[in-house]
Amino acid sequence: MTEAARLRRGVGVVYVLAGLLQWGVLAGIWLRLPAPVLSRLFFGQFLFLILGGLAYLASGFARTGTFLYEPLSDYLIGVAVYVVLLSLVAVILGKGLAGPWLAPTPGLFLIYYGFKLR
């Protein structure tokens, strides 16, 4: 397995874990956890997605001594699509244009994209 493929797999694992954490935030909403707890859960999930992915890529680049743009572009594209999708879902749900079935969509995207990278 090439180094680029190994880094892509690792980024995929970060995405799958972040998607599962996103579902944990939704479970907290359905369990009616207090707002401060929910905001910390969401912030923790988002920090894991951003900092976990960047730390993984930085450590991989440092270990090999080479910079590979493919894993970084896969990571950045996924984060950008996730942020846009999360914003769209929040607006749609906030305006009441769709039911609560739409809420897991950003987490599903992260899991799907993570498995596609693996």
3-30 vs 53-64: helix crossing angle, rounded to 10 = 160
**Phi and psi angles of residue 64, each rounded to the nearest 5 degrees, phi first:** -85, -25
Specify the higher pLDDT residue, 89 or 30.
Answer: 89
Position 15 confidence tier, pLDDT thresholds 50, 70, 90? very high
Distance CA(78)–CA(11), nearest Å, equals 10
For the chain, what are the domain ranges?
3-117
pLDDT at 1 over 80: no
Mean pLDDT along residues 67-88 = 93
Percent of the chain with pLDDT over 90: 58
pTM to 2 decimal places? 0.88
pLDDT at 24: 87
Residues 6+ away with beta carbon under 8 Å from 102: 89, 92, 93
